Amino acid sequence: MWRVGTVVALHDETATARTITLKVSDWTGHLAGQHVDVRLTASDGYSAVRSYSIASAPNSETRIELTVERLRDGEVSPYLTQELAVGDRLELRGPIGGWFVWRTQQTEPIQLVAGGSGIVPLMAMIRSRVSACSAASFRLLYSVREPGAVLYRDELEALSDHDHSVSVTYAYTRVAPKDWPRPPGRIDAALIANTTWPSNLAPTCYVCGPTSFVETATGLLSASGNSSDKIRTERFGPTGDRQ
């Protein structure tokens, strides 16, 4: 039931987020959007478990990537982002979750809305679209505190500039780059109207982020005409659940 993953690579995405690549020899595959439970065990037997979204696309390999954002006062995320070393072994369960997933058979337009590290499961969907050569049209609205907090920036830029497979809109909440057209602030109705799929195209919307962000984003998507059965959400709270 608990699988063992060996850390084969570590990559710092930002000052506080790290991607962990694990080789899991008995991995049976996953869907984009699913998560795993990770268990740490102290030498006295005490253990702590948290859920982390899978960042990598489903593939035939037995490797998965998790991107973990370090939480102040976190119990597990500081260990995973600061202590963990290549060669260490981690216990994990999963993949888990069958609702907040994008399947490669889906052909409808896809609207992704990320708040902060809520980008992680959405990135798995984008990568899954690329690796499956899907023709589904993706848009991503990515709300993030400041430019330095953007995860996967180079990869997202390559995808939107060269491949046009996903169009990306950044919305900065605290600090925007110089000459950015929109002042820093939370997402609003105008941004939703100007950058997301028109609701008459009946996109499936995936919204992931902190609870207050998800409440705001889903409210705006509903108000702009998206039906609630086309909006799927994944929320995480300050306790560090579901990063």
Partner 1 sequence: MGIISRGFSGRHGATDLKLPPGQHLTTDFPVLSAGPTPHVSLDRWEFRIDDGTDVLRRWDWKSFRELPTENITIDLHCVTRWSKLGTSWEGVSLDTMLADVKTDASYALVRSYGDYTTNLPLNDLMNKQAWIAFQFDGKDLAPEHGGPARFLVPHLYLWKSAKWVRGITLMHHDRPGFWESLGYHNCGDPWREQRYSGDE
Q: Which residues bind partner 1 (CB under 8 A)?
A: 1-2, 4, 37, 39-43, 45-51, 75, 79, 83, 85, 88-91, 93, 96-100, 211, 215, 218-219, 221-222, 228-229, 231-233, 235-239, 241-242
Question: How far, in Å, CA of 69 to CA of 151, rounded?
Answer: 10
Q: Which is nearer to partner 1, 99 or 133 (CB)?
A: 99
Q: Which is nearer to partner 1, 144 or 240 (CB)?
A: 240
**Residues 65/166/160/178 CA torsion (nearest 10 deg):** -90
Coil, helix or strand for 49? strand
Rounded to the nearest whole angstrom, what is the least distance from the CB of residue 222 to partner 1 in the complex?
A: 6
Two tokens at 42? 């102290």
Q: Which is nearer to partner 1, 49 or 132 (CB)?
A: 49
Rounded to the nearest whole angstrom, what is the least distance from the CB of residue 15 to partner 1 in the complex?
A: 21
Q: Which is nearer to partner 1, 184 or 219 (CB)?
A: 219
Q: H helices then E strands: how many in the chain?
A: 5, 11
The residue type at 95: P
Q: Which is nearer to partner 1, 160 or 203 (CB)?
A: 203
Nearest to 208 by CA among 231, 229, 180: 231
Coil, helix or strand for 109? coil
Rounded to the nearest whole angstrom, what is the least distance from the CB of residue 98 to partner 1 in the complex?
A: 4
Rounded to the nearest whole angstrom, what is the least distance from the CB of residue 177 to partner 1 in the complex?
A: 31
Q: Which is nearer to partner 1, 78 or 147 (CB)?
A: 78
Two tokens at 181? 């057209």
Rounded to the nearest whole angstrom, what is the least distance from the CB of residue 75 to partner 1 in the complex?
A: 5
Rounded to the nearest whole angstrom, what is the least distance from the CB of residue 3 to partner 1 in the complex?
A: 11
Give yes or no for a contact between 208 and 214, defined as CB atoms under 8 angstroms apart.
Answer: yes
3-state secondary structure 178-240: CCCCCCCCCCCHHHHHHHCCCHHHCCEEEEEEEHHHHHHHHHHHHHCCCCHHHEEEEEECCCC
